[in-house]
Structure 1
Amino acid sequence: MKIITSRDNAQYKDLKHLATSSQARRKAGRTLLDGVHLCETWLQLRGHPEQCIVSEGAMQNGEVAAIVARLEGEHAHVLCFPDALYAALSQVEHGVGIMFLVETPQRATPAALSVNAVLLDNVQDPGNVGSILRSAAAAGIGEVYCSPGTAFCWSPKVLRAAMGAHFVLDIFENVDLAPLLADAPIATLATSGYARQRLYDVDLKRPVAWVFGHEGQGVSDELLGLARHQVVIPHLGEVESLNVAACAAVCFFEQVRQNLD
């Protein structure tokens, strides 16, 4: 374990820049996983982080101490900061005092859709994006494609909302969604409050690419026109529509239901 006590330390400055700047995270291709759950999930599914960062006070926490002991035993890199310096790095209020520095996967976009997938068209709220990722992973969906206007999937808020779903999904960002839909060899479904076809009347016992849109404007007209099916989720209450994350969860688990029957 390396102990750093100065805020002028170059490593500390680099970490603080990553912690506080989305642009820096995108440019560096790195992000910070904050909290025991995300760190344990990364260890289980991906292995060692580039660095484990802990606060001095967190070493009194049994779960944190166990993670640090494992990493030190396997000769991984661990940095320890005084509590005050660590607090300036963490985006979690009342967190436990551990985070991982990890590389964000950089993947080339496949030429065509072939498995169950989610396409996010300008979904801007990080909480919604994270919730959609979490539901997608729980429903066994393998791929997520994000338009340039969609919230950065590896931001702290999205990571916290997704609760480790990132690590079992193939996520592609800054993707032009129109060509993927236009050439898709699998069924493509876009949700729309104006659609006539009900979700529950569509055959989902096959690979499907789901398209969800902006919180206020929905899926763009271009992508609606390219989707093979436009579907609506019927509801009884006097509300105009579902939240996009709730809508996605209903769609994913209707597909799960059909495939379990």
Structure 2
Amino acid sequence: MTETAIRSRDNPIFRRLKKLAESSRARREARMTLLDGEHLLAAYLAAGGMPHTLVRAESCAPARLAPFAQDCRQARTVVVPDALFAELAPVATPTGVLAEAAWLTPPASGGLALVVVLEDIQNPGNLGAMLRTAAAAGATLAVLSKGCHDAWSPKALRGGQGAQFVLPMQLAADLGAWLRDFSGTSIALALETAHDLYAQDCTAATALVVGNEGAGLSGATLAAATKRARIPMPGRVESLNASAALAVAVFEVLRQRGARR
């Protein structure tokens, strides 16, 4: 790979990368993002993506990028001082490798609908983990409200570990309208109900609706859902983390469908 050295924050390439690292608006307008580390880069390539730019910190050995040389022939490679790389990295201990990459649009999944509907999930790690869980369960779609954190932010991508590359997503959705139009059963996970999640029939088309980490689901979204259900918790805690609640629910759907088959 031929590498270009960047030394200045005023370099136009660095300035573009910095905007992608810091601004959801810049990512949305360009439909580009930054991938942190070799694992995400490999997942992106496996999903059919082609990075625009590879970024290496000076302290990172060039050999780290060697495995990607064949698949990234069209990508520009730049090397930046560690101090500048740290300004782009989403974590306190940078991996030393970043990639500038276009958003992917996975094709719609066929088969019986299993949709995760997320309202105002604001923690990027939680959001990424929820998308990862949905992808692992074979969800056909993720529907995100306007109040959710940017699903393509570097931190959400780290949490998703490649989920955004394979899971169809509808972003900035009007959840009330989407739920009213959904032809299957939508189940809102809520504490304020006596209905047990495990007593619900999830063998037909199902959408699982999960709310904000602190506030839960809004009244409008609860009203638009077909049903409400709670996860039984005999222990002495008030609630589950939103990501954990979704994991319990989505794999209960899979359990029921497997048992029905």
Task: Give the TM-score normalised by structure 1.
Answer: 0.90
Structure 2 Cα separation of the partners of residues 10 and 37 of structure 1: 27
Q: In the alignment, what sits opposite 1:58?
A: 60
Superposed counterparts of 1:17-166, under 5 Å: 17-60=19-62, 62-67=63-68, 69-71=69-71, 74-105=73-104, 115-166=113-164
Contact 1:146 1:174 in 2 (8 A): yes
Q: In the alignment, what sits opposite 2:7?
A: 6
Contact 1:30 1:103 in 2 (8 A): yes
Of residues 220, 223, 226 in structure 1, which corresponds to 2:224?
Answer: 226
Q: CA RMSD in A?
A: 2.0
Secondary structure of the residue that 1:174 maps to in structure 2?
A: strand
Moved over 6 A (4+): none
> Structure 1 residue 106: deviation in Å?
6.7
Cα 1:221–1:75, aligned 2, differ >3 Å: closer, same or farther? closer
Secondary structure of the residue that 1:58 maps to in structure 2?
A: coil
> Structure 1 residue 123: deviation in Å?
1.5
Superposed counterparts of 1:166-185, under 5 Å: 166-185=164-183
Q: Which runs of 5+ in 2 are unaligned?
A: none
Query: What's the CA shift string for 1:18-59, capped at 9, x where partnerless?
Result: 222233222322110111110010011123112222223323
Query: Is 1:259 the equivalent of 2:260?
Result: no
**One-letter code of the match for 2:61?**
M
Secondary structure of the residue that 2:67 maps to in structure 1?
A: helix
Structure 2 Cα separation of the partners of residues 47 and 21 of structure 1: 22
> Structure 1 residue 105: deviation in Å?
4.2
Structure 2 Cα separation of the partners of residues 159 and 24 of structure 1: 16
Question: Among the aligned pairs, what percent are the same residue?
Answer: 37
> Structure 1 residue 65: deviation in Å?
2.6
Contact 1:71 1:77 in 2 (8 A): no
Contact 2:104 2:165 in 1 (8 A): no
Contact 1:186 1:209 in 2 (8 A): yes
Structure 1 Cα separation of the partners of residues 185 and 86 of structure 2: 47
Contact 2:142 2:167 in 1 (8 A): yes
Contact 2:145 2:174 in 1 (8 A): yes
The number of residue pairs the alignment matches comes to 253
Contact 2:7 2:81 in 1 (8 A): no
**One-letter code of the match for 1:25?**
R
Contact 2:49 2:104 in 1 (8 A): no
Task: Give the TM-score normalised by structure 2.
Answer: 0.90
Contact 2:129 2:243 in 1 (8 A): yes
**One-letter code of the match for 2:155?**
K
> Structure 1 residue 227: deviation in Å?
1.0
Contact 1:71 1:78 in 2 (8 A): no
Structure 2 Cα separation of the partners of residues 9 and 157 of structure 1: 24
